[in-house]
Structures are given as structure tokens and as C-alpha cells.
Chains A and B, each alone.
Chain A
Amino acid sequence: VAKDGVAAALTPAVFYILFALAGGDKHGYEIAKQVSEDSLGRVSMGTGTLYGSIKRMLADALIEESGQRPAPELDDERRRYYRLTGQGRRALEAELQRYARVVAVARCRELLAQA
């Protein structure tokens, strides 16, 4: 979110990671799988790209490390889980609203077929 309150557009990688984490805490590979599933296989994030994005999102306080482990007895202790911060949730909502507005305008102009 920009300083003047106007929501800045998110990159596809950041948007899909936020979208994946909106469903709950996840570790790195779970995020990558969820991103691939949500984008119907169109966005495929390799390990390097994924952790590069995670690093930048941690620095921007869009996500944070989660202390809670969903299944500690079944999982590797070295895994780190991530979750959305309040700022990340707001950024995701702003992006989704932006998409909704664009879709509404496209429908008004009959650029998009009515559902």
C-alpha cells in the first residue's frame, strides 16, 4: 500500500502468495503448491523465486513467521511457517477490490461476457 493511501498493484508472485496465505499458515513448499493450484498451473514458482519473494514480503511486513505449527508431531521441526500480517491482509483486500472494479468496468463496457 502506497503512502498516500492508494493501493499499489502487487506483482503476480506477491499477490498469489498473499492469496495462498489467506487460507491459513503455510510453509514454503505448501505456498508454492497452493500458488500453482490457485493460478490453475499458470504461475509456477521455483524455490529460488519463492524465497526471494518471501524475503521481500517479510521486509515489507506483508507476511511474518508464524510461531504456531499446524501439526508439530507430523512435521519437520526445521520448517518455518508463514502467515499474513494485518498489512498483508489489507494489501490483498485492496488488490482484490481493484480487480473487482476492473471487472465491473469491463462488464459495463461489454468487454467481458456476463456470467
Chain B
Amino acid sequence: MNGNGADRRRRAQRWYRLIVRLYPAQHRRAFGEQMVQAFGDHYRDAVGSGRVSRCGFWRSVLADAVASLVSEYVAAVRAGGGRVRRRFRSTRSTSSPHRRRVSPGRWGTRRGPRTCQGVAAGQGGGVDRFGRVRRRLRHRRSACRPMRVVASTRRHRLVYRGRVSALVLLAVLVGAALAAGTVLGHAGIAAVVAGVVAVAWLAYRIRLTRLVPAGPGGDWPAPPGGAGVREPRRPLPLSPAGSAARPRRDQQPSGGCGPAG
């Protein structure tokens, strides 16, 4: 494969890496890198040798990815016995025998308590006398939503905020709408509606975030006393509020107290 072909292969691998990000985390961690590598070999043998067109290659890759994504998520749900139940257990206090009751109005839903627990304890939630984790709703939505990095550069990161299952569901619904439109003879209208819905959803869920260095040296230095501690205002040394103005060396002090001549 020549240089151009190698570049194309690397680009294809970058795209495939995005597909790999859609797999369940456990599968991705165990096999993600191997999958990308095997994909690169496959690309070199199929497209690089000219045996298969790029379009045909990607079609087969996408078909395989959709099928295996569905089977992996089904397997993950079966193996996990339901993510909801496991999360539910994890929020209970180990010392308290009381089960945590969940009512959406007061305590929030069961979404991601593992991450919310810290947020709740640190920012006004805390644990009540029954050992139940108390969360504040205004922290829940942003803190509990799972985030997945779609692409990242040195300074920016494109993140998808939400569940992958919702994305899969959206894809299924869009596909169903397109199929229904085609069958009923209104393919154009169905495509426009599906496109608008998909773009609106992605615009709502995908965010571009800017990365700043951690610690003092980021956008602004941390306040004295540590993050979150607000100290009372005090005059800076030699500030007009705290002391008298000092004349410059080449300037005569005002008033008649200076040496004459």
C-alpha cells in the first residue's frame, strides 16, 4: 500500500474508532483496540488491494457493526441482570438496612446514582437519617447524564450526553419512518421529517466542550483558601483604599513639607 493508501487506511481506522465507541464499555475496553487493528488489516486487504470498492466495504462494515452492536447490548443487559437494579443496590447505605425509596418528585429518578452520590453529598444533597441518598434535582440532570466522547482534539472535545440505547432507538425510529414513508409513497416528506428529528436530537445531545488545564493556570487562578472558599475582600498592599498614595521618585511631593530648593 502506498502513502496515499496508508493515509486512507488511517482515516478509515479513525472513523471505525468512532463506531467502536458505540459498543458497551466493557466490550470496548477488552477488544476495542484489537477491533480497530483487525479493521485496518481488513481494509488493507480488501480496499487497498482493489478487491472491493470502498462503498461496498463500508456497507458491509456498517451492517456488521449494527448487528453486533445489537447483540452486544442484548448480551450486556442479560449478563448484568438489568442496570437499574444494580444501581439501585449501590445507592443504599451499607450500614442501614432500610431500602432507598425512589419517588421521582422528591428524590429524583434512578438514573446514575453512583455519580450523583458524590454530587449530592458535596453540594447540598447528603444522606438523610435513614441512610438514603438525598439529591438535589438541579444537580441531577447534568451530573447523572452519561457522557461519551465522540471526538477530541487537543483543546476541544465533542461529547454525546445521553444513553447510547436512546441513540439506537432514534436510529430505529428514523429507519421505521423512512420505511413507512417509502411504502406509503411519501418518501420525501418522511426523509425530511426524519432528518429534522435526528438533527434536533443530535443538536440537543451533542455538545462541544473546551478543555482547560486543571488547577491554577486554567482560565483563572483558584481563589485563596482553595476552590469554593470565598474570602472577604481586603485591600491590596499600597492600594488607594488601604494606604496613602506614594509619590514617584522624580516627582515633588505635594504640599509644603518637602525640602525647598
* Cross-chain contact A51 with B37 (CB below 8 angstroms): no
Asked if A107 CB lies within 8 Å of chain B CBs, one says no
* Cross-chain contact B42 with A47 (CB below 8 angstroms): yes
Asked if B72 CB lies within 8 Å of chain A CBs, one says yes
Asked if B30 CB lies within 8 Å of chain A CBs, one says yes
Cβ 8 A contact of B38, one of A44, A47, A52, A55: A47
Q: How many chain A residues have a CB neighbour from B under 8 Å?
A: 20
Q: Is the interface of B mostly helix, strand, loop or mixed?
A: helix
On whether A46 and B61 interact (CB within 8 A), knowing A32-B42, A54-B31, the answer reads yes
Asked if B27 CB lies within 8 Å of chain A CBs, one says yes
CA distance A54 to B27 in the complex (A): 11
Q: Is the interface of A mostly helix, strand, loop or mixed?
A: helix
Residues of A close to B69: CB separation below 8 A? 48
Residues of A close to B37: CB separation below 8 A? 28-29, 76, 78-79
Residues of A close to B23: CB separation below 8 A? 48
Q: A1-33 CB contact bits vs B (8 Å, 1 = yes)?
A: 000000000000000000000000001110011
* Cross-chain contact A48 with B34 (CB below 8 angstroms): no
Asked if A50 CB lies within 8 Å of chain B CBs, one says yes
Residues of A close to B42: CB separation below 8 A? 29, 32, 47
| 51-102 of chain A: CB within 8 A of chain B | 51-52, 54-56, 76, 78-80
Which 3 pairs across A and B sit closest by C-beta, in order of nearness?
A46-B64, A48-B68, A29-B41
